[in-house]
Amino acid sequence: MKTCVIIGAAPCENLDFIDKEILNNAFVIAADGGYTTACNAGVKVNAFIGDLDSNMVAPNCDDLTILPCVKDCTDVHTAILRAISDGYKKIILVGCTNGRADHYFANVALLELIAKNGAEGVIVDGGNEIRFISEGMYRVPRSKRYFSILPIDEEITGVTLIGFKYLLDKATLHRDYPSGVSNEWVRDIATVVIESGRALMIFSEDNQL
C-alpha cells in the first residue's frame, strides 16, 4: 500500500516504534519541528511542510513548503492534505500525541478527514495506535495488549466484538459512558462491527517509550 509517514513536532524520544521497512519505503513528510525528530532518528525526509515557528531555519530539503504563521490549517493538517492529494492510501502520523493537548485532539480529529478521502490513517507512538472507524466490519490483528473502542458520536449502535476477552453482540455504546475501554485480544485476529456511528479504535500498552 502506498504509504506516507508524517512526523509532527510533538516531543518524541525516538522513532524505534516505527517498522524500519515501513520508514525505508514510505514517503516521509516532516511537519515543522518534526524535521528535528527525523534528523535525530536518522530518518530521511522527502518533504518539509511548516511555518518555521519551532525556532527553525529552513531545512536542507529539496521539497520545501514554507507556510505563513497565520493560517487556518496546522502544519500536520497541511501535510495530510498533501499526502491525500498525492494519492497515498495509508497515512501514518507520528510525533502527534505528546505535547500540547489542543494539537493532540486536532490530530485525532484529522483521522476522520483521512478516512473521508478514502485512505487509512493511524496515529502511533511508543505505546499507542489510534484509528478512526465508522459503519462496517474490521479485521483487527493483535498488535498491543489492550483494545478500546470509544464513540465519537453520542452513541454507536450494532457493535459486535469477536475474538476479544469481553464480547459484544449488536450492543450500543455511549460517548459519556466509556465502557469499551481496556479489552484484550484472545485471538490473533479479532473482528469489530459497527452498524451505525463513528468511533476510535485504540490499541495500547502499559509501558510507553
Q: 183-207: per-residue pLDDT in tens?
A: 999 999 999 999 999 999 999 998 6
Distance (Å, whole) CA 41 – CA 202 = 25
* DSSP H/E element including 181: none
User: How far is it, in rounded angstroms, from Cα 54 to Cα 139?
Assistant: 39
CATH superfamily of 133-204: Thiamin pyrophosphokinase, thiamin-binding domain (2.60.120.320)
The domain limits of the chain are 3-125, 133-204
Query: What topology is assigned to 3-125 in CATH?
Result: Rossmann fold (3.40.50)
Domain 3-125 matches domain 133-204 at the CATH topology level: no
CA distance 125 to 18: 8
Q: In this predicted model, which residue has the larger pLDDT, 9 or 57? A: 9
Residue-averaged pLDDT of the chain? 93
> Rounded distance, CA 18 to CA 3, Å?
13
pLDDT above 50 (res 147): yes
